[in-house]
Amino acid sequence: MSRYVNKLVREAKEASYQLAQLSTAEKNRALRAMAGAVRRSKKFIIEENRKDLRAAQKNGLAKSMIDRLALTEKRVAAIAQSLKEVASLPDPLGKTIAAWRRPNGLRLKKVRVPLGVVLIIYEARPNVTSDCVGLLFKTGNVGILRGGRNALRSNQALGRVLSEALASSGIPFPAFFVVEKPQRTYVDELLRQEGSIDLVIPRGGESLIRTVVEKSRVPVIKHYKGICHLFIDESADIKQALSICVNAKVQRPSVCNAVETILVHKEIAKEFLPRLKKEFSPLQVQMRGDPAVCRMLPGTRKATEKDWRTEYLDLIVSLRVVKNVEEAIAHINRYGSHHTDSILTRNRSNAKRFVREIDSACCFVNASTRFSDGFQFGLGAEIGISTDKLHARGPMGLEELTTYKYIVEGQGQVRA
């Protein structure tokens, strides 16, 4: 192990034991201090960000990436605001999840505690740095933040401002670490620090996440992609279904909870599909259909097997006619990404069957898949969305950044 990584993980682990002992009040005070410091230091932060932007432009970074990298006065204000909001959220730590007594007098308690050290690997988006610092600090976790190298100066600037605020609010240890050596070899080393790092959350495109999973010995929580479905059942309210289709596809096509495939019950397809086309055409949504769809909507591009497995992240949608709810469920479980899928129906028993049999983190009835989100769910925050089944599934808020331990009190019991 390199000296750099060795020192980093040792200091992070040590800090995690101190951070775990802070009171809620101490943490909230520090979060508000961080928010204030970001507001006061906006000039410095934006200046450092400009250096990143100039280098990124010189290196020919894609326009969409440069947009995500750029910090404006408004964006810096939003960063400060979200730190303030985390201060006002309830603290999940210390909560007793369950308590019971054994016949031999042992008293057991399951209590919520921090995970410890969490490594976040993300792209060149400086706001992720401060968001993660806030959420991890509130949940008593020490963050190791490794952002894209194109944002290194921005991240270091934010890190400096936030650390100074922590120190000035009386926190006598480093509560997070911005990785300052962006070389891949250090990331690879970090991913092998099982025992020192408790969790890795990769945030970014599928290829970044696949690389992390491939290399990591530390547990990873993630989603690769969101291939979300709408199933328009025979008894769907057509007007409502049209509005949900448009919302789920068009409102923000580049995100994981946008819909990619719409399944339509054969008994409603003839009426529904032409009306859907009428909605989608002026919005520039390209439709791709199975043979039945192509018959009903002549001129529609044919969907291939690959389409059913594609997250377009764009104004494209694949369409398929299905016999019944059973066939819809089978399609979704086979081709989907187990993220979010919604049935639009007035038939209670079909709705019940759908949510019971769909193997996805979020099973919706009569609502747009776009609600699959920590804030929309009312979690108050979101560190990411998981399509894993272990630990956390679906949108993850503060509670999902904690674990528990058993506290067992006896009066001298020994095992017979």
Name the residues that contact its own copies, by CB under 8 A.
Answer: 17, 20-21, 100, 102, 106, 108, 115-116, 194, 198-199, 213-214, 217, 219-221, 237, 240, 243-244, 246-248, 251, 333, 351, 355-357, 359-368, 370-371, 376-378, 388-391, 393-395, 403-415
Nearer to its own copies, 89 or 248 (CB): 248
Of 286 and 333, which CB lies nearer to its own copies in the complex structure? 333
| Least Cβ distance, residue 50 to its own copies (angstroms) | 33
Place of tokens 């400009």: 50
Q: In angstroms, what is the minimal distance from the CB of 13 to its own copies? A: 9
Minimum Å gap between C-beta 413 and its own copies is: 5
**Gap between the Cα atoms of 215 and 47, Å rounded:** 35
Cβ atoms of 391 and 102 closer than 8 Å: no
What's the min distance (Å) between Cβ of 190 and its own copies? 16
Neighbours of 6 (CB within 10 A): 13
Cβ-based nearer residue to its own copies, 62 or 414: 414
Residue with tokens 């776009």: 370
Give me the least distance between CB of 311 and its own copies, in Å please.
15
Q: What is the DSSP letter of 374?
A: T
| Largest pairwise CA distance in the chain | 80
CB of 165 to its own copies, least distance (A): 26
Question: Closest separation between CB of residue 367 and its own copies, Å?
Answer: 3
Q: CA angle 167-169-170, nearest 5°? A: 65
- Contact yes or no for 98/112 (Cβ under 8 A): no
Residue 176's contacts (CB-CB under 8 Å, 6 or more residues apart) are 133, 136, 137, 142, 143, 144, 145, 159, 162, 163
Give Cα separations from 84 to 19, 31, 77, 130 (angstroms): 19, 6, 11, 11
If the CB atoms of residues 51 and 252 are measured against its own copies, the closer one turns out to be: 252
What minimum distance in Å lies between the beta carbon of 32 and its own copies? Answer: 25
391 DSSP 8-state letter? S
**CB closer to its own copies, 186 vs 377:** 377
Write down the least CB distance from residue 111 to its own copies, Å.
Answer: 8
Contact 383, 82 (CB under 8 A): no
Length of the chain: 416
* Residues in CB range of 259: below 8 A, 6 or more apart: 228, 229, 230, 245, 248, 249, 317, 342, 369
Report the alpha-carbon distance of residue 8 to residue 161 in Å, rounded: 19
Q: Among residues 266 and 405, whose Cβ is nearest to its own copies? A: 405
99 or 274: CB nearest its own copies: 99
In this structure, the number of other CB atoms found within 10 A of the CB of residue 398 comes to 22
The torsion defined by the Cα of 192, 195, 197 and 198, in degrees rounded to 10, comes to 120
φ and ψ at residue 160, rounded to 5 degrees: -65, -45
Q: Which C-beta is closer to its own copies: that of 302 or that of 346?
A: 346
| Backbone phi, psi, residue 275, to 5° | -70, -35
Which residue number, 4 or 404, has a Cβ lying nearer to its own copies? 404
Q: Which is nearer to its own copies, 128 or 385 (CB)?
A: 385
Q: How far is the CB of 385 from its own copies (least distance, A)?
A: 11
Q: How far is the CB of 388 from its own copies (least distance, A)?
A: 7
Strands (DSSP E) found in 78-182: 96-101, 107-114, 117-122, 142-146, 176-178
Residue 113 CB: number of other CB atoms within 10 A?
17
Nearest residue (CB) to its own copies, 165 versus 363: 363
